[in-house]
């Protein structure tokens, strides 16, 4: 492609992107963006942890290579600072996050820290390759999830 044509196409694409970006984001309500951020994070956590539980239950074949990938990605996800997804005002709207998160923020943050620590331990257990240790670490990680869900996640959407 000739240089002048390439430059013209690049400038046209850039201009179109800049003009379209306000339209693409104009429908966002800040609180809904925060909800989407945290819901996406939880979905990724579930997509990495859920199959490990399925392996432990015998619902899928045991595969240490996949366990290693999922445990590494789970640890990376839980290391992220998800707190901005729980900013004031983001408890409004369509969410399963109970208001107690914002009322008991220190406890909620402590439970997130428990998940982080359990994820690190899970990754270490998987790296060690001992099936009993991996099973125990999966169970311990699941307990940290349940502890938070029991207190801070509604079964139904709140409005």
The per-residue pLDDT for range 71-108, each reduced to its tens digit, is 999 999 999 999 999 998 888 878 889 999 999 999 99
Model confidence at 11, pLDDT cuts 50, 70, 90, reads: confident
For 57-62, the CB contacts below 8 A with 24+ separation are 62/131
CB of 35 closer than 8 Å to CB of 93:
yes
Is the CB of residue 151 less than 8 Å from the CB of residue 118? no
The predicted pLDDT at position 89 comes to: 86
Tokens for 87, please give them. 């900013």
- Domains annotated for the chain, with CATH where assigned, are 29-158 (1.20.120.10)
Number of Cβ within 10 Å of residue 39's Cβ equals 16
How many Cα neighbours within 13 Å face the side chain of 83?
11
User: How many Cα atoms within 13 Å fall on the side-chain side of residue 114?
Assistant: 16
CA atoms lying within 13 Å on the CB side of residue 86: 21
pLDDT of residue 159: 45
**Quick one: average pLDDT of 150-159?**
79
Among the listed residues 75, 23, 49, the one whose alpha carbon sits nearest the alpha carbon of residue 149: 49
pLDDT at 33: 85
pLDDT for 49: 97
* pLDDT at position 26: 42
Q: For the whole model, what pTM was predicted?
A: 0.78
* All residues at 6 or more sequence positions from 22 whose CB lies less than 8 Å from its CB, including other chains: none
Which pLDDT score is estimated for 30? 59
Asked whether 62 and 120 are in contact (CB, 8 A), the reply is: no
């Amino acid at each position: 492609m000739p240089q002048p044509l390439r430059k013209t196409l690049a400038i046209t694409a850039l201009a179109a992107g800049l003009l379209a970006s306000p339209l693409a984001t104009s429908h966002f309500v800040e609180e809904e963006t925060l909800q989407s951020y945290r819901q996406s994070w939880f979905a990724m956590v579930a997509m990495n942890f859920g199959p490990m539980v399925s392996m432990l239950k015998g619902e899928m074949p045991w595969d240490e290579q996949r366990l290693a990938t999922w445990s590494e990605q789970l640890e990376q996800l839980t290391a992220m600072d998800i707190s901005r997804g729980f900013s004031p005002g983001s408890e409004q709207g369509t969410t399963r996050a109970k208001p107690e998160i914002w009322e008991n923020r220190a406890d909620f943050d402590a439970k997130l820290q428990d998940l982080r620590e359990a994820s690190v331990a899970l990754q270490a257990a998987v790296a060690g390759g001992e099936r009993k240790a991996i099973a125990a670490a999966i169970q311990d990680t699941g307990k940290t999830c349940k502890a938070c869900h029991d207190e801070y996640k509604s079964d139904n959407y709140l409005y």
